[in-house]
Structure 1
Amino acid sequence: MQAARNAILEREVNAALVPATPRHVLAVATANGSAATNATVADATAVARADGMQLAVQNVRPLPPNDPQGLSQVFFVIALLAPSLVFANLLVTRFGKVMHPFGQLLAIAAYAVLVAAVATALADPAIGALTGAPWGLFGIGTLLAFAATATAAAAARWAGGLGYLLVFLLFIPVGVASSGTTLGPHMIAPWYADLGKALPAGSALPAIQNTVYFDGNAITTPLLILSAWALAGAVALALVAVFHPPTPGSRRQHPGRPAAGSGPAADART
């Protein structure tokens, strides 16, 4: 039984059947996702009844009482993604549009630290939903916020409103749904689950889940994916300083054409 427990907590398996007398034991972890766990228990129970076996279920890592469905991690990610995408749009089109791209990157970094600190403080000590690993939660939140903001800002600088809209749709509606965290990655289409794993939400959710509930096991790959998004967004935004794409909403000044309010007519009016 201890071997099965360790395999689940180390994220090697999601459930394990341990033969025993007088009944077999199915080891599960609802922290892995209540929907996926319930489906596993239902299937194993049906098989056991068909074979005339008795089956006991042991939950080796339950969810906290104030989050019985394990939705806090989803809310945590959305609470970081949504304002980050809004901040990216405002930075590029409003209060930061005259800033140098490197200045925008510094603003994004400061914002990411601030919003992750607020989200962690609300999720851990204030609400008590995601407890036990505040620094890990803060680090993942900072990386997620930076990756989302930098990518959205770069998309807006290079492709305008259309680029920003595509990033928004990809990161929130598609990214959260394809992450499979609420239903389990094995309960959605394989290609859709693979897409989710490659997006920020689909990498941040398992990283948070494994950090809070499974002692930080199996978080290397999700963190590498998040880091890749952050690096790609930062590089794309920094390249604006080299190629100078127009800020969304601005107008290019055509060579040889006088600016509005200049020229002989303007001089005559003055």
Structure 2
Amino acid sequence: MSGDTAVCSRAQHAVPAHQPPAPVRATGIVLALTAAIALIAIAFALPAGRSAPHDVPIGIAGPPAVGRPITATLDEKMPGAFEVTSYPDADALRDAVRSRDVYGGLVFRPQGVELLIATGGSPAVAQLLTQLGTNISRQTGVPLRTEDLAPPASGDPRGTGLAASALPITMAGLLPAIALLLVLKREIWTRTVAMAVAAAVTAVTLAALLRWVLGAVDANFWGVTAALTLGLLGVGLTVLGLGSLFGRPGVALGVLLALLLGNPLSGLAGAPELLPSGWGQLGQWLPQGATATLLRSAAFFDGAGGATPALVLSCWALAGLALIVIAAVRQREFSAG
């Protein structure tokens, strides 16, 4: 009898007295999961549901007497949708499109209207400009000629392959960092070198898939590989640094930043200017948005317009490396003490 009493006593002491009752804990779990699901839904659905053009940079070339009324009409019918720049002639506008200063534009000639687009820069914006050019042609009664200065890859005429790769690219930066933190718990520099190697190998693999399996890119294979490598390093070293210095909370912060903010705001599926006002610009300062812009620059514009996103990714990678150095110094001090 005394043995049964001792067992019951130990069982009672196994549960802390301060622990909330089971119904309270279950309610807390349900509420936390509901909030998490709502946050995920907002992060992924809001950018798509509120998608609209905001200050999309386009150009107009032609006589001022024609360009000014068109600009005024755009401001009246689609206020805030376009940021229009005037160019002296068609060649100047072409150069601006190829250098990624504008997404495209209209050239007004006596014999008709010429529409310049760059599908490789953004299929969604190219479609938007095509609709705009068609409407102007109908209203003015002049023929419309379209020229695509950055056509999509022959194997992916709608440009969907590159757009669909946004989440896989994000995961390709996250998963190696998380795995290395779990497997190499104390080998800080070994996992850092391994992360760099994983980024390079994964980038070559993804570039090969985009080129020869998905057909999403036709040219500049090594430029695309370099863009992907820098993008994966920006994500991977950041998560690795956060995990090395702050442990699991740091990893969770890095994952949430990438999946709930960076990926939905990357603009790879459309364009930063098509996201809710302000959010698209924010996305370009995150690794996923910078990777998207750099990837399109490498794949369709021979690197034009890629300097700023490359700098952003380099800063993220260096910030992650700085966190790793701090973690290594702390580890050495703790071991010495």
Q: Is the 8 A contact 1:11 1:218 kept in 2?
A: yes
Q: For 1:105-184, what aligned pairs fall within 5 Å after superposition? A: 105-184=192-271
Q: Distance in 1 between matches of 2:176 and 2:303?
A: 30
5+ residue gaps, structure 2, are 1-89
- Check the 8 A contact 2:152/2:217 in 1, yes or no: no
1:226-256 C-alpha deviation (Å, 9 max, x unpaired): 11111111110121111239xxxxxx9xx9x
More divergent stretch after superposition (62-71 vs 12-21): 62-71
Contact 2:103 2:125 in 1 (8 A): no
Q: Is the 8 A contact 2:272 2:284 kept in 1?
A: no
Higher relative contact order (CA 8 A, sep 6+): 1
> Alpha-carbon deviation of 1:126?
4.3
Q: Which amino acid aligns with 2:185?
A: K
Unaligned runs of 5+ in 1: 246-251, 256-270
Q: 1:8 aligns with which of 92, 97, 101?
A: 97
1:84 matched to 2:173? The reply is: yes
CA RMSD, 1 decimal: 2.3
**Paired residue for 1:262?**
none
Question: C-alpha offsets along residues 36-93 of structure 1, whole Å, 9 cap, x if unaligned?
Answer: 1111222343344344444332222221232233233344453332033122112112
Q: TM-score, normalised by structure 1?
A: 0.82
Measured in 1, the distance between the counterparts of 2:158 and 2:317 equals 30
Q: State the partner residue of 2:79.
A: none
Write the letter of the residue equivalent to 1:168.
V
Question: Secondary structure of 2:146's match?
Answer: strand
Which one of the candidate residues 181, 184, 209 is aligned to 2:296? 209
Structure 2 letter corresponding to 1:63:
P
Q: Percent identity?
A: 27
In structure 1, the residue matched to 2:284 is 197
- Aligned partner (choices 140, 152, 164) of residue 63 of structure 1: 152
Q: How many Å separate the matches in 2 of 1:11 and 1:148?
A: 25
SS of aligned partner of 2:147: strand
Matched residue count: 245
1:70 and 1:182 in contact (8 A); partners too: no
For each residue in 1:191-239, what CA deviation from the matched residue of structure 2 results, as whole angstroms up to 9, or x when unmatched? Answer: 1011110011100111111111112111100100011111111110121
Structure of higher CA gyration radius: 2
Cα distance between partner residues in 2 of 1:159 and 1:123: 35
Residues 1:230 and 2:317 are matched in the alignment: yes
